[in-house]
Structures are given as structure tokens and as C-alpha cells.
Amino acid sequence: MTTTIDEEAELISGSWAPPKSTRERQYESAYRRALADALTWIERSTGTRLSGRPQQPDAAYPPGLFRQLLSDGVQLCELLNALRPGCVKKINRSKNRIAGLDNLALFIQICDQVFNVPKLSMFDVTDVVEDLSEKYNPEDAVYEDERRCKKILTCLLRLHRFVDLRPSTPRLELSALMAVLGGGGGGGGSRPSSAGSGKRESLTSDAPPAVQLTQSVRTSAAASNANPLQFVKPEGNKLVQTARHQIQAIQRNKEELAETAAAKAAAAEASSDADGDAWISVEVLGFFLQY
């Protein structure tokens, strides 16, 4: 196989990445459309425009933009009032960060108390407002941003059930969301990875010495009723640091598994052609938090 001068330069610089598969390109297109469809539904339901959103349905969303557009919480609270008028008594429209935090907290409270959105289908305030560049490297920030955006999409999908109670309320376009959250019957719900990329897999790759140490740490911590992350203290030892990363990856994977299952449950419920066997009980999802 021959390479061009540009490809050789990329290989030397380390910026080369394997070509994306057709499935991965389809997923990314569906993900972009899902974000656009969610924002369009909010705009049409509330009668307001979200300033700064891409206008093309298949436009790319830079990491953080979707969450930033919703970070003041105003449109989310207005969406609840569109679905059930008067459920949000007062929206803080001040142009400051505290007002946004108040609105988001109120949105989450109303979703729980009035709309009965399951906890596993909800997002946290920090999922919307946190600047990921302060905690993650650029590549990991992209994946983390997508994970948080999908939590917001799952919540919106749950709320969409209530449009049937108000026929005048615009409907959410579901096709792209189903493909992204896993309700489209095509095994969706997670980003496909290009062959050879191995970025996400490396977080949980097997490393026998580290795994053995991790298991030992977990056993010792359990015996002393200690938090394993507190039990392993940073000592500059490479093996100890690897064990810490292994424990963090286990906890992160547990959370992502529960979130994916919650998204699939929401997608199955929202799907008009889902039969009784397709239903996933939300209460059962608590199982994923027990291991």
C-alpha cells in the first residue's frame, strides 16, 4: 500500500487517524440530527429561538455547544409549561450563572415531582453547565460531552410522552433519537469505534498486574469499609496509579451502562410500534448500580 506525502506527514506528526467506517459516519450523522431535532422541538414548543444554534439540520455541534444553548434553563422550564401549563410558577430570567443553576435545578425538580421522569433518565445540573476542558483532555472531552448530551436527550424523550395530552403541542422527531439512544432496532445507543482507534477500549484494557492490584485494593477496602478511591493514595508509583485508573474506569463504565439502559427504555417507550415485550422496566435498571 502506497501513501501520499500528506499521509506520511500525518503519520510522522502522530495526527493520523484510521478512516471512519460507514456505520460510524451514519451514527455521527444521526447524532447531529438528534441534537438539532431536540432543539427544534424546544423552539417550536416554546415559541422562542435559541440564539447561536446551527441552522442546518446536519450541522456539526462543537463539543459543549448543545449544553451551552440550554445552560440558562429558561427554554427547558418553558418547555415544561408548554407540556403542562403553570407547572413552573416562576422562571429566573436574569442573565447570570446563578439564575441558570436555579432554573436547571427547578427543571429537574418538576420533572421528578410532576412528570415522574425516572431518576436514571434524568441529568444533573453539572451535566449541563460544567466546562469539560478543565477535567478532560480534548479527545476524552468529546466523548464525555456526547455522554452528557445523550442524558439530556433521554430526559426530553421521556417528556415527549406528554404531548399526547396536549394535541396542539409540536411533536419531537424521533427517528434520529431512536438511532442514537438505541430504540431503532439497529443496535444503536453507543458510538461505533473505528478499527485500530482503541481509545475508549484502552480505559478498560486488561493489564494483569494492575488488575490483580485493583482486586486486592478493592478487597482490602471492602474489608475496612473504605472507599477504594480513598484507600489508594497517590504515591507516584506507576502501578498504583494504574490501579486507580482501573477503579475509576470500572465506576465510569457502571454509570454508562445504567445510562445506556435508561436511554433504551425511554426509546422503547416512545416508539409507536414497540410491543409489550420491548418494554424495559425502569425499576429493573437499578440492578446495574448494584455490582
Structural domain includes residue 15: no
Is residue 7 a part of any domain in this protein? no
Write out pLDDT tens, residues 205-258: 344 444 444 454 445 445 445 554 454 445 556 666 666 666 766 766 666 666
Degrees, nearest 5: CA angle 42-44-47: 100
CATH number at residue 43: 1.10.418.10
Q: Is residue 249 part of a domain?
A: yes
13 domain-assigned: no
CA distance 250 to 256: 10
Is 107 strand, coil or helix?
helix
User: Is the pTM here over 0.75, yes or no?
Assistant: no
- pLDDT, tens only, 153-203: 999 999 998 988 888 889 999 999 999 998 544 444 566 655 444 444 433
Q: Domain range holding 50?
A: 21-289
Q: Is residue 10 part of a domain?
A: no
Mean pLDDT of all residues in the chain? Answer: 75
CA distance 200 to 146: 13
- 261-285 in b/e burial notation, b at 16+ Cβ within 10 A? bbbbbbbbbbbeeeeeeeebebeeb
> How many domains does one find in the chain?
1
Q: Give the tens place of pLDDT for each residue, 267-280.
A: 666 655 344 333 33
Q: Is residue 2 part of a domain?
A: no
Q: Among all chains, which residue has been given the C-alpha cell 406528554?
A: 162
For 148-159, the pLDDT digits (tens) are: 999 999 999 999
Question: Is 3 a member of any domain?
Answer: no
User: Of 204, 189, 201, 203, which Cα lies nearest the Cα of 259?
Assistant: 189
Distance from C-alpha of 272 to C-alpha of 225, rounded to nearest angstrom: 47
Picking from 175, 4, 8, 172, the residue whose alpha carbon sits closest to that of residue 79 is: 172
* Higher per-residue confidence, 89 vs 167: 89
